[in-house]
Structures are given as structure tokens and as C-alpha cells.
Amino acid sequence: METMIKTEPIKVIGGGLAGSEAAWQAAEAGARVLLYEMKPGKYTPAHHYPGYAELVCSNSLRSSQLTNAVGLLKEELRRLGSLVMEAADATAVPAGAALAVDRVRFSDYITEKLKSHPNIETVSEEVKEIPDGTVVIASGPLTSDALAGAIRTLLEGICPGVPTLSFYDAAAPIVDVATVDWEKVYFASRYGKGEASYLNCPMEREEYDRFYEALITAEEAELKDFDREGQKEPTVFEGCMPVEIMARRGRETLLYGPLKPVGLPNPATGREPYAVVQLRQENVARTMYNLVGFQTHLTFGEQKRVFRMIPGLEKAEFLRFGVMHRNTYLNSPLLLSPDYSLKSDGRIFFAGQMTGVEGYVESAASGWLAGINAARRAAGEAPLLPDEETVVGALSRYVSNPAVTAFQPMNANFGLLPPLEKKVKGGRAARNGALSERALSKLDGFISNLKKG
């Protein structure tokens, strides 16, 4: 950590993953930071825990393998000194080849780090207007009405006629593992990768048929006014598609998605079931498991009825039911520069899902880059950008590329990276491995420059 930069403080709005990361990085760069979070005085409809960096949709940060783009992104963030990755590694729970965390311990870890940093002052109040000076807006997809109105007014003044966009997220239910029928379920990870940490509920065809019919005809919860935003039906981002909407696309859709049985043979029969519902560990104590891919907007009563048709869950107690909530994001290609600052006003940065990066790790990556460059901006220094061959750099260029049309939120993926100069033999895994090797080599060069400047 460098000596504090003698400038006006950077104001970071929002204590989610992006805001927490941005505040930490700016403070570590030597800037004084005011971190605003409206909890615990006021909560969004999706948040309940008072700590910073609360995980809502899932406790999984997805794949840890370098042949997966999000696995590469996590390794990039580790090398960049990410607070989110430090906390994730310190609070990890078994999840096969993925990285999942104990949500409470994860939030508590980050909260303690932020509150004890000498360059950070935490402020528990709602921000209703965009402050003067250097600002990082990381207020999330459920930004309060007052601040959302201020942002909308700002953007309309910059680019008249450009609206903010909306989509809907859905969270999966969690069950008490003690109420699972252990005679019907088994532990396994697909194709035996990693430790057998997923709990699998096998279905034969007749069981799947009954479950499918119940699912597609089940009653959905009424959309709240804050979710509807004038729309008759919600617009749902593919990455968090409610399971009932996915099922209505066709009888076999789920068999190629969250209920895919491939690579999960049942030890009781020695063969793959017709369908498999997987449950993933939620906490270190292994008392809570969530239904993987079962984000939903069914009523609570219907969730209990339909999901108890899953073999092994007939008497399951639900510790939390699935919910759906609103997400909003900017038309970032028209508005943002690659460092996540406004093209028209470089003192204002955005970070997190508001920018169109989709996912916890991606949000942290945007917060890392916005925080670093907000500190540089406050000190009168030029921005630093990771190479486009890295996932951190590629994501920032995607959301800021004016050539992108029909802009949609984006997860980390290798399609964002420039192609390799030479073809690699060995198939997709070998190609992805080569892309990862190139990315980390480029990142090491960027880190050297970061330390110098």
C-alpha cells in the first residue's frame, strides 16, 4: 500500500463485489476513499445481509480451471491483488472443479478488510445524487430509485434518447441437507472431475415426465412494480433463465441444461439416469445445498410442491425459496471508455453489472479496473489498461466498444479474446490452454508496468 494521495477523496457508491473491489484497489493505490452503502438502513428487495459483497444469486464463482475463461479471469484477479479473490480463496467450500464460498464468511471477510483499511471511510447512507469529484458508481442492478433517477438524468443529458436497459435475474432455492432422502441421491461431479461434491438426484423417464408437466403448468409469482417497469412480461437474460421458462421451450430443453445426466452414472444402477438434478454445497458446514440451475419465479407454495417431486427431495425443507428481481444495465458501448469511465466525463466511473458485465467474478474485475483508474485519475495520471488478450482487458473493451450492436450483458468467455496467431493441435482444451498461457504472460507484463507507474 502506498502513502495516501493528497487529493479529494474518491467516492465509491455501493458495497457489492464491484464497489468493494473498487474501494479496496483505490485505497491500496494510495487514494482516500469514501465508500457509501445504504445497508443496513435500507435494503434492496434482493439483499438481506448487512455486510459488504453480499452474494445473492448463487454462492458459486464457477469454474476454477484455466481451460475455462472464468477460471482464467479468477487467476488474473489473484495476480492483480483482488480483494474478492483473496476472500473467496479464504472462505471456499468444496465444489468439484468450481470455486464456491461460504456466503456469510465471504461477506464478513471483505467487510472487515474494508472497515479496517486506513484509507477507507465507510458511510452507511443512501446516495441520491451523483457527487462532485471522482466517483465510482457501483450501486448494482437494483439501484435505489433516487440514484437511478439521477443516473438517468445524467445519461439523457449526455446522449438524448438512450435509455437504460432492463432484464431479470432469478435466484435458486436452498434446501436443508438433513431433510434429503439419502437412499435416493448420490455424490458425484460430472465425469469425475474434482472431488465428488455435487449431490445428485436421479430421475427415470416417467419421473421426469411427471416433474416436467408440473413445472410448466405451475403458478408463477406476480411481478412486483419494481420488477415490472411497465412491461407485461419480464425480459430474462439467458445466464439466469428461470427453470420454468427454460422448460417451456421444449420437453427436452432441461435435459441439455441443468438436468443433463451425461457423465453422472448412478452407483445404484451403474448407468446414467434419464435426468439428474444437482445440488451444490452452500456453506462450510454442509448443512445447506442449492438446486443448481433452478433459478425460478414460481410461487413459494408451487416451489415446494413441484420441487418435492424430485427424487430425494420429497420431504426436503426449503431454507430459502427462489426469487426473481430486477436488474438494469447501461448502454455501455455508447457511454463508457475501456477504463469504465464516462466518455463525456472522465471523473465518473461505473462498475459491476450496471456496465453489462454478467457474473460475480466479472463484476469484481470491473471494480478492480475502475478502482485502479479512479485513483490514477484523482492523482492526475493516465489510465492503465490490461492487454486485450487478458479477460480483464477483453471485458472492458467489450462493454466500451461502440461497434457492439444489440448490447447484452456478457460473461467471461474465450470468444472475447483475439485469436491465437497459430493454430494449436489438441482440440478446444489445448486451444483454451494456449489462450490462458498467453493471457497470463501479457498480464505479467501489465503488472510490471503497474508497479512502475
**CATH classification at residue 246:** 2.40.30
73 and 118 inside one domain: yes
101 and 53 inside one domain: yes
- Contacting residues for 344 by C-beta, under 8 A, at least 6 apart: 158, 335
| CB distance 122 to 114 below 8 Å | yes
174-178, 255-259, 353-357, 448-452: segment of lowest average pLDDT: 448-452
Query: Exposed (0-12), middle (13-18) or buried (19+): which is 206, by Cβ within 10 Å?
Result: exposed
Q: Which three cell numbers stand for residue 305?
A: 410442491
193 and 52 inside one domain: no
**Dist. CA 350–CA 353, nearest whole Å:** 9
21 and 140 inside one domain: yes
Tell me what the mean pLDDT of segment 168-189 comes to: 87
**Dist. CA 46–CA 160, nearest whole Å:** 31
Tell me what the mean pLDDT of segment 103-128 comes to: 97
Q: Is residue 2 part of a domain?
A: no
Q: Is residue 397 part of a domain?
A: yes
pLDDT of residue 238: 53
pLDDT at 412 over 70: yes
345 and 423 inside one domain: yes
Instruction: Note the pLDDT tens digit of each residue in 277-293.
Output: 999 988 777 888 999 99
- State pTM to two decimals: 0.78
Angle among Cα 45, 46, 49 to the nearest 5 degrees reads 110
253-260: long-range contacts (C-beta < 8 A, 24 or more apart)? 254/212, 255/208, 257/293, 258/292, 258/293, 258/294, 259/203, 259/208, 259/293
Tell me what the mean pLDDT of segment 15-23 comes to: 98
Render the burial of 405-438: b for 16+ CB within 10 Å, e for the rest.
Answer: eebebbbbebebbeeeeeeeeeeeeebbbbbbeb
pLDDT at 232 over 50: no
Whole-angstrom CA distances from 120 to 25, 50, 343 are 11, 18, 27
Q: Which three cell numbers stand for residue 167?
A: 432484464
Q: Which three cell numbers stand for residue 17?
A: 463485489
Cis peptide, bond prior to residue 267, ω within 30 of zero: no
The pLDDT mean for the chain works out to: 89
pLDDT band at residue 159 under the 50/70/90 scheme: confident
Percentage of the chain exceeding pLDDT 70:
91
370 and 285 inside one domain: no
pLDDT band at residue 6 under the 50/70/90 scheme: low
Percentage of the chain exceeding pLDDT 90:
64
pLDDT at 452 over 60: yes
Kind of pairing, strands 165-171 and 33-36?
unpaired
Tell me what the mean pLDDT of segment 418-422 comes to: 89
189 and 146 inside one domain: no
Instruction: Note the pLDDT tens digit of each residue in 435-447.
Output: 999 999 999 999 9
pLDDT at 294 over 70: yes
Residue that is last in its domain, among 272, 300, 326: 326
**Dist. CA 140–CA 242, nearest whole Å:** 20
**CATH classification at residue 68:** 3.50.50.60
Q: Is residue 4 part of a domain?
A: no
pLDDT of residue 226: 47
- Contacting residues for 6 by C-beta, under 8 A, at least 6 apart: none
pLDDT band at residue 146 under the 50/70/90 scheme: very high
Q: Is residue 379 part of a domain?
A: yes
Instruction: Note the pLDDT tens digit of each residue in 345-362.
Output: 999 999 999 998 988 999
Q: Phi then psi for 104, rounded to 5 degrees? A: -65, -50
pLDDT of residue 229: 47
Higher-pLDDT residue of 84 and 160 is 84
Q: Which residue range is the domain that position 183 belongs to?
A: 170-326
pLDDT of residue 194: 75
Can you name the residues that pair with 281 across neighbouring β-strands? 289
Residue that is last in its domain, among 282, 305, 326: 326
pLDDT at 403 over 90: no
pLDDT of residue 167: 52
pLDDT of residue 286: 82
145 and 267 inside one domain: no
pLDDT at 231 over 50: no
Q: In the 3-class helix/strand/coil scheme, how is 424-439 assigned residue by residue? A: CCCHHHHHHHHHHHHH
Higher-pLDDT residue of 31 and 172 is 31
Helix (H) or strand (E) holding 243: helix 243-247
Residue that is last in its domain, among 296, 326, 356: 326
Number of domains in the chain: 2
Higher-pLDDT residue of 376 and 284 is 376
**Dist. CA 137–CA 22, nearest whole Å:** 10
Instruction: Note the pLDDT tens digit of each residue in 68-97.
Output: 999 999 999 999 999 999 999 999 999 988
155 and 224 inside one domain: no
pLDDT band at residue 404 under the 50/70/90 scheme: confident
CA dihedral 286, 292, 295, 300 (to 10 degrees): -50
Tell me what the mean pLDDT of segment 27-41 comes to: 95
**Dist. CA 158–CA 334, nearest whole Å:** 10
Query: What count of residues does the chain have?
Result: 453
Angle among Cα 193, 258, 203 to the nearest 5 degrees reads 90
84 and 145 inside one domain: yes
pLDDT band at residue 130 under the 50/70/90 scheme: very high
Q: Is residue 439 part of a domain?
A: yes
pLDDT at 121 over 50: yes
194 and 159 inside one domain: no
16 and 158 inside one domain: yes
Which amino acid makes up residue 239? G
